[in-house]
Amino acid sequence: MDSIRFRSGSYSGYDIRPSAAADDELTRVGPGTPCGEYLRRFWHPVSLTRDLGERPLTVRILGEDLVLFRDQSGQLGLVHRQCPHRGASLEYGICEERGIRCCYHGWHFDVDGTLLDAPGQPAELNERLKHRVRLGAYPVIEYNGLIFAYLGPPKSVPQFPVFDTMALEEMTTVPYKAPFRCNWLQVLDAILDPLHTSFLHSRMNRVQFSEGFGEIGRMDFFERSSTLLGVNTRRIGANLWLRVNELVMPNFTQAGSAFAADGTEVRYYGRSSFTRWVVPLDDENTVCLAWANFGDRGDPGEWNIPEGPELIEQGEVFDRSYEERQRSPADAEAVEGMGRITIHGNENLVISDKGVALMRRRLREQIRSVAEGNPPVRSVPNSFGRIPTYGGDTVLRIPRESKGSEFEQLGVLATRFMEAQYQADDLTEPERVASVTRSLKDLEAVGIATLQAEAAEGEGGTGRDQES
C-alpha cells in the first residue's frame, strides 16, 4: 500500500493567531459610545415611507429600539418603544388624531413625547403627570419616499441636508433599502475601495455590470470639507473613464452608474446611480436606505423595475441560494463574510487601500473631536441651499499618448476634472452642467500629455490627498 502523503509547503495555520479585539471606537454605535454620539449629530433615514402604514412600525437604529408612526392628522412620530408608565410596547399602540395611545392603560402621547392624558387618574394627578412624565421622542422629516430622524441633543438639531442629487429634475428616483448582516463600517469601507469592482463585480465567474469594470485604473483620492472622493481613471481603448465614488461624512455615499457607463461611449458629467446612507441598526446589522436614480445622466430607465435598485446596489438580487452566492458573490457576500464585526488588527492594508485608511482616519478624528465637545464638520450648502456632490461617471475621448507616463498623466487629469467641478459649486444645476462640460471638452482638446507638461511647470491642480 502506497504511503499517504500531503503536499509539502510552508504551512502556518498553527502559528498565525488572529486578534479578537474589535476597533470599538469606530464600530460601536449604541447610546453613549464615542461613535454613536458622533453619528447622533446627523440626520439619518430610518424607513421607507411605503413601509409605514396605518399601524405603528418598529424601527431599530444606532442600537435603539423605537416605534415609528403616523397619527390620524398625518404627523409623524418616532418614539421610544416602551411606554414610560409600565413598559408596554408602543408597537401595539393606537394612532390617534393627535399622537399615539398605549394599548395597555391608554396613556396618550403627542409626537414630541408630551403626555396628553393618563386615563383613570384623579384630575390633579393627571395634570402633574403631564409635566413630570415624558416619552422619549425624536424629530422626524419625510422627504421623497424616505423618513429621516435626528437622534442627537435636542438643542443642537442641524439643518436637514439637501444634496444636489436629491433634486435633479431630469432624473427619476426610486427609494429602496438593502440590508447587511454586519457592522456598518464594513459596508461603508467599500465606497472608497475602487479596486474591488475590478474583481468582485467583473472577474468572479461573470460580469455583474459591464466589461469596463474589470479594468484596473489609477486611483486618486481627494478631500473637500467633509467630503472624501475616490477617482478611478481607466483606459478603455481610445477613451478615459473617470468614475467618482463619494463619501460625505459620516455615511452619505454616491457612485456612478451601474449599467449606463462602461467606458465605451463619451459621457460628460454623468451623475450618481444611487444616493444612499449607510445606517447602523446596531453593532452587527446595517441597512442602506437610498434612492436609485434613473435618467440620461444616471442609469437607464429600463432598470426602473422592482429588482432594479437591488441590482444597482449589489450587482445581484438579495434573495439567492447559498450555492448561487458562492458561485457569484456580490457586495453582501464580501462584507458579511468578514464576520459580524471585522477585526481591523487582522488586516494587511496596502497602497490600494489608501481610501479606506483615509476614511477611517478622518472618522476617528471627528469622533474624538465631538467627544471633546466640538461640533462635527458638516458640508456647507451653496447659495441655492444645495450641497454640491461629485459622484458619477465621465468618459472622455483622449487617445493614448506616445510620450510621457500615462499613469502620471491620469493623475493630472483626475485633479483637473475635480477642479472643474469645484469651480462650479455655486452655480445652478443647468449652469453647473454647462460649466463642467465646457471644461471637460477643453481637457479632451488639450490631451493628457500637455496637462502633464503644464503640471510639471507648476500649473497643476491642488486638493489631491498625498498621504500614503
pLDDT digits (tens, 9 = 90+) for 367-376: 999 999 999 9
Question: Which position has the grid cell 492594508?
Answer: 349
Whole-angstrom CA distances from 307 to 211, 304, 369, 380 are 21, 8, 41, 35
Q: What is the dihedral of CA 407, 409, 413, 415, to 10 degrees?
A: 80
Helix (H) or strand (E) holding 408: helix 406-422
- Give pLDDT, residue 465: 45
3-state secondary structure (DSSP) of residue 410: helix
pTM of the model: 0.91
C-alpha cell recorded at residue 269: 458629467
Given a contact cutoff of 8 angstroms between Cβ atoms, the answer to whether 233 and 413 are in contact is yes
Structural domains of the chain sorted by starting position, each given as residue range(s) with its CATH number in brackets: 43-156 (2.102.10.10), 164-459 (3.90.380.10)
Mean pLDDT, residues 82-103 taken together: 97
3-state secondary structure of 430: helix
Q: Which of 116, 131, 113 is nearest to 77 (CA)?
A: 113
- Identify the band that residue 189 occupies on the pLDDT scale cut at 50, 70 and 90: very high
Q: HSE-up of 96 (CA within 13 Å, CB side)?
A: 16
> For residue range 385-396, what is the model confidence (pLDDT) as tens digits?
999 999 999 999
Q: What is the pLDDT of residue 144?
A: 94
- Residues near 298 by Cβ (< 8 Å), separated by ≥ 6? 171, 257, 260, 270, 271, 272, 273
